Amino acid sequence: MKLYPRLFLSHLLVICVALGAVLLISETLASAFIRHHVAQMITLIGPDGASLRPDLERGVRSTLNAALLASLPLALVVAALTALFSARRVVKSVELLRDGSHAIATGNYERRLPEEGRDELTDVARHFNRMAAALQTVEQGRVELISNVAHELRTPLSALRGYAEAMNDGVMTPEAVSGAILRETAAMERLAQDLSVVSRVEAGAVELHSSDFAPSALLLDAFERFAGAYEERGVALFRAEAVALPPITADFERASQILANLLGNALRHTPRGGHVTLGAEHQGGDVLFTVMDTGGGIPPEHLDRIFERFYRVDPARTRGDGSGVGLTIARGLAARMGGSLTVSSSPQGSIFTLKLLAAHVH
């Protein structure tokens, strides 16, 4: 039997039982009520009123029963309409949920359910829509990931084909081609490695080796690693003094990896003659590491997406500017260490802020 008739019949059964209980209770209570008041009347009338007892009891009982029986059809009609409406409401929500689930199962992640009302069924529809939106986001990310990986691999593969054809035609010597092939395969290996790290970071499978260390040690390590590259590009790199900062608890290598990514990005986007400042400060129970550059800034419409995999503010930039997953990895690593990575920007430059927990918080 379908859900709708089952719900309707179950409602009617409950209604009939309730009406029977009302009749039984009223009959039981009415008998006692009638006997009590008839006894009072006989007391007032005197001994002659005793003969009226049977007539009075039958009259009151028959009147009460007649009233109850007369109201019974109307009560049944109202109850049936109420059961009809209630069953239809439940069945309609179940059917919508069934159709929506089928649509999601077949790949239609844009399907949504109407959110009408304030009851539990509306809550189910609301949670279903949130689930569908999350699945749609995941599916879009999967499609974009496949497309981006294909795009990133297309360039080195095309280059490898070109070198092979040039060597086959005698335009290039094997010695000259071998170096180019090694460069392209190295680029593909870096991409594969970055994708592996991204997948492990997003799955929470990155192994961390936390320890307590001074923020100044992390700043000095990052500064020394990039000082030569900045000098070569004609960009000044400044390191602010980390004064009176508490030690932090984090994975030193992973934190250094985050700052290296930020400093590398700042170097690529800061023109010659500009400068980048690496600093840190204590705020509440956190230590904030900042990388401030004097580049052109990030347009507001791109700020919410720069941490997405393969997203580039300037699509014209080539893969030589990085695999496009560095910021994704950096944000994931920061979250795994209990911190965060945020960005603010203006036409005068951008500020990336890495927040890590101070050691005394633990």
Closest CA to 265 of 199, 180, 354: 354
Q: What is the DSSP letter of 21?
A: H
Angle at 68 between CA 65 and CA 69, to 5 degrees: 85
User: Could you tell me if 68 and 23 are in contact, meaning their C-beta atoms sit under 8 angstroms apart?
Assistant: yes
Token pair, residue 338, equals 């209990």
User: Could you tell me if 235 and 226 are in contact, meaning their C-beta atoms sit under 8 angstroms apart?
Assistant: no
Closest CA to 257 of 204, 209, 305, 314: 209
Helices (H) and strands (E) in the chain, counts: 8, 7
User: Could you tell me if 280 and 355 are in contact, meaning their C-beta atoms sit under 8 angstroms apart?
Assistant: no
- Give the integer Cα–Cα distance in Å for 123 and 121: 5
Q: pLDDT of the chain along its 362 residues, tens only?
A: 565 566 666 766 776 777 677 667 766 666 666 666 666 666 666 666 566 666 666 676 677 667 767 766 777 777 777 777 777 777 777 888 888 888 888 888 888 888 877 777 788 888 889 998 888 887 877 777 777 777 777 778 888 888 888 888 888 888 778 888 888 888 788 778 777 887 788 777 788 889 999 999 999 999 999 999 999 999 999 998 877 889 999 999 999 999 999 999 999 889 999 999 999 999 888 999 999 999 888 888 888 888 887 776 665 544 445 567 888 889 999 999 999 999 999 988 999 999 999 986 44
Specify the 3-state DSSP secondary structure of 337.
coil
- Domains contained in the chain, CATH given: 3-108 (no CATH), 140-202 (1.10.287.130), 210-361 (3.30.565.10)
Q: What is the pTM of this model?
A: 0.59
Specify the 3-state DSSP secondary structure of 283.
strand
Q: What pLDDT is attached to residue 51?
A: 64
How large is the angle between the packed helices 326-336 and 252-269, nearest 10 degrees? 150
Beta-carbon count within 10 A of 320 CB: 8
Q: What pLDDT is attached to residue 200?
A: 82
Closest CA to 352 of 324, 335, 331: 331
